[in-house]
Amino acid sequence: MVAKFDLNDDSIVVIIGTGAGGGVLANELAQKGVKVVALEAGGRYLPEDYINDEWDSFGQLAWTEPRTTSGDWRVAKDFSGLPAWIVKAVGGTSIHWAGASLRFHEHEWKAKTHYGAVDGANLLDWPIDPAEMEPFYEKAEAKLGVTRTGDRPGLPGSNNYKVFEKGALALGYKDVSTGRMAINSVEYDGRNACQQTGFCFQGCKWGAKWSSAYTDIPRGEATGNLEVRDHVHAARILHDDKGRASGVEYFDKDGNLQMQKAKIVCVAGNSIESPRILLNSHSAMFPDGLANSSGQVGRNYMRHMTGSVYGVFDKPVRMWRGTTMAGIIRDESRHDPSRGFVGGYEFETLSLGLPFMAAFLDPGSWGREFTSALDSYENMAGMWIVGEDMPQETNRVTLNHAVTDAYGLPVANVNYTDHPNDVAMRNHAYAQGAAVYDAVGATRTLPTPPYPSTHNLGSNRMSENPRDGVVNKHGRAHDVPNLFISDGSQFTTSAAENPTLTIVALAIRQADHIAGEISKGNM
């Protein structure tokens, strides 16, 4: 039975956002008997609703409300109003994600210790030891059904993977596989096995890929402890005169302002909206925004060092057939400064359909150099590059008071400029990625610039010392004891891995912490 809670019920945990962080936290708390109201800006879409069409799906799922951009990154020029490609729906970006589920390397939890001081970077160690995360990674892998973990077999390799694998092995790479994917290779947990349909980014119509939309959310609701309010837009978090969070103001379906009282507030709106909500929650007591005595809210925004390489061959590949990202080379994810940069990166198979290839291959480009590449679309193989980017204080989410959303609230501006370490890493990856395809006889390679961000991280980061960040090792705000950050914005550093598995593991861990604190009477 789906719960329905009163606006004045102040025993509620209010969670803003229902994606990999918020959706998992909501279910985990509900399973422990904690009463939860989850606020979600988007609507409900289930596998039968997802669309095998890139632009139609984008129109259905993407967060397209106004945002602005600045900085040297090319996205600010080519997609100035779309810094991120993320989802507005119950289930959030867990509907769109590719499913790649890699644990951090041990050294990545302690980047400052291992990399040393890097000029211009605001590096910090996570206040978590890698060993602490082991059991939570195991729980997250079981929840998501990650292939090649537990006794779950790997996915079969697609055409795109076979090209990628052959080139990688020819180049001498060793750690090459169809990856650890939250996409079922066999039926698991009531979800279908992958049918190699493609369109992983458009929502999996088979439900073979894990998303909180059709797993954690309905399971949480089934406990009677979780109420999800969709189509509501969180505006700000209120606090009492002791500086404790007391509720969340939001605009309901009809645009009316409502206020849900709360015992605890958890923010999981992705790394652009989460700091925006904190900044928009400024008050006389917190003039710079909630939980921002350090001035770090919105800072150290990370989006991973990314890029793509497409290889053109003299014969068909048909890269769009099959699982989009089930292919990985991990050899370059080590920390090896002899390459000219700290940290590492992964190669992962990628394909875009023709409409998105036209939009993202080389935005703004035209003429025969561009169209002759598209003419070879059928003969292309594709890979994505994802690596650790450096946290920088000036890469940040701020409020743009000159632009307001439909509710009159200042929108987020996303400022990002590559660190020299990011540039060096990308250039290395472009060369190595091209070499992978050259080794299989590519007639042309295309080093493709970063797309609007799907990995948005770090804008409310974890720190041991309250001066260095926004939240502690449990995602709990240093300044506000009953306020938590439950999404990727709590990342201290980005590591090289796709972030969802770690977001889920942290949410499971945070649920234990919150439920424990409640039962101890500390809340």
Query: Which tokens go with 399?
Result: 């409020």
Q: Does 258 bind other proteins (CB under 8 A)?
A: no
The answer to whether 210 touches 149, Cβ cutoff 8 Å, is no
State which residue, 378 or 405, has the beta carbon closest to other proteins.
378
The residue among 282, 236, 208 whose CA lies nearest residue 405 is 236
State which residue, 17 or 327, has the beta carbon closest to other proteins.
327
Q: Does 104 bind other proteins (CB under 8 A)?
A: no
Q: Does 350 bind other proteins (CB under 8 A)?
A: no
- The DSSP element (H or E) to which 177 belongs, if any, is strand 176-177
Q: Does 473 bind other proteins (CB under 8 A)?
A: no
Which of 172, 190, 255, 367 forms a contact with other proteins (CB under 8 A)? Answer: 367
State which residue, 129 or 375, has the beta carbon closest to other proteins.
375
State which residue, 309 or 429, has the beta carbon closest to other proteins.
309
Which of 153, 355, 431, 516 forms a contact with other proteins (CB under 8 A)? Answer: 355
DSSP string computed for 209-232? B--GGGTHHHHHHHTTSEEEE-S-
The three-state secondary structure class of 309 is strand
How many residues at the interface with other proteins, by CB under 8 A?
A: 42
Piece in contact with other proteins (CB under 8 A), picked from 100-108, 277-285, 347-355, 387-395: 347-355
Piece in contact with other proteins (CB under 8 A), picked from 215-223, 295-303, 360-368, 492-500: 360-368
The three-state secondary structure class of 17 is coil
Vertex 470, ends 469 and 472: CA angle to 5°?
90
Q: Does 378 bind other proteins (CB under 8 A)?
A: yes
DSSP string computed for 128-153? S-HHHHHHHHHHHHHHHT-TTSTTPP
Vertex 91, ends 88 and 97: CA angle to 5°?
85
- Which residues are CB-neighbours of 316 under 8 A, at least 6 positions away? 378, 379
- Which residues are CB-neighbours of 234 under 8 A, at least 6 positions away? 16, 39, 41, 248, 249, 250, 269, 277
- Give the contact letters, 303-342, x = binds to other proteins (CB under 8 A), - = no: ------------xxxx-xxx--------------------
State which residue, 31 or 197, has the beta carbon closest to other proteins.
197
Q: Does 409 bind other proteins (CB under 8 A)?
A: no
Rama region for 166: left / alpha / beta (φ>0; ψ in -120 to 50; rest): alpha
State which residue, 158 or 260, has the beta carbon closest to other proteins.
158
Calpha distance 414→398 (Å, rounded) = 7
Q: Does 359 bind other proteins (CB under 8 A)?
A: yes
State which residue, 222 or 439, has the beta carbon closest to other proteins.
439
Q: Does 235 bind other proteins (CB under 8 A)?
A: no
State which residue, 166 or 282, has the beta carbon closest to other proteins.
166
Q: Is 287 exposed, middle or buried (0-12, 13-18, 19+ CB in 10 A)?
A: exposed
Piece in contact with other proteins (CB under 8 A), picked from 21-29, 151-159, 218-226, 424-432: 151-159
CB of 171 to other proteins, least distance (A): 15
Phi, psi of 406 (to 5 degrees): -60, -20
Q: Does 70 bind other proteins (CB under 8 A)?
A: no
Long-range Cβ pairs for the range 116-121 (8 Å, 24+): 116/342, 118/342, 118/390, 118/419, 118/421, 120/390, 120/392, 120/419, 120/420, 121/390, 121/391, 121/392, 121/419, 121/421
Q: Does 451 bind other proteins (CB under 8 A)?
A: no
State which residue, 439 or 523, has the beta carbon closest to other proteins.
439
Which of 11, 32, 370, 393 forms a contact with other proteins (CB under 8 A)? Answer: 370
Calpha distance 132→49 (Å, rounded) = 39
Q: Does 250 bind other proteins (CB under 8 A)?
A: no
Piece in contact with other proteins (CB under 8 A), picked from 65-73, 129-137, 276-284, 372-380: 372-380
The answer to whether 36 touches 26, Cβ cutoff 8 Å, is yes
State which residue, 316 or 340, has the beta carbon closest to other proteins.
316
Residue type, 494: S
- Give the contact letters, 174-213, x = binds to other proteins (CB under 8 A), - = no: --------------------xxxxxx-----xx-------
Question: Residue 308 forms beta bridges with which residues?
Answer: 384, 448
Q: Does 77 bind other proteins (CB under 8 A)?
A: no
Phi, psi of 355 (to 5 degrees): -60, -40
Q: Does 22 bind other proteins (CB under 8 A)?
A: no
Calpha distance 54→359 (Å, rounded) = 11
Which of 7, 374, 406, 423 forms a contact with other proteins (CB under 8 A)? Answer: 374
Calpha distance 215→212 (Å, rounded) = 5
Q: Does 358 bind other proteins (CB under 8 A)?
A: yes
Residue type, 450: P
State which residue, 158 or 225, has the beta carbon closest to other proteins.
158
Q: Does 74 bind other proteins (CB under 8 A)?
A: no
Q: Does 444 bind other proteins (CB under 8 A)?
A: no
CB of 185 to other proteins, least distance (A): 11
Q: Does 49 bind other proteins (CB under 8 A)?
A: no
The b/e string for 360-387 (b: 16+ C-beta within 10 A; e otherwise) is bbbbeeeeeeeeebeebbebbbbbbbbb
Contacts with other proteins, residue ranges (CB under 8 A) = 52-53, 55, 156-159, 162-163, 166, 194-199, 205-206, 315-318, 320-322, 353-355, 357-359, 364, 366-368, 370-371, 374-375, 377-378, 440
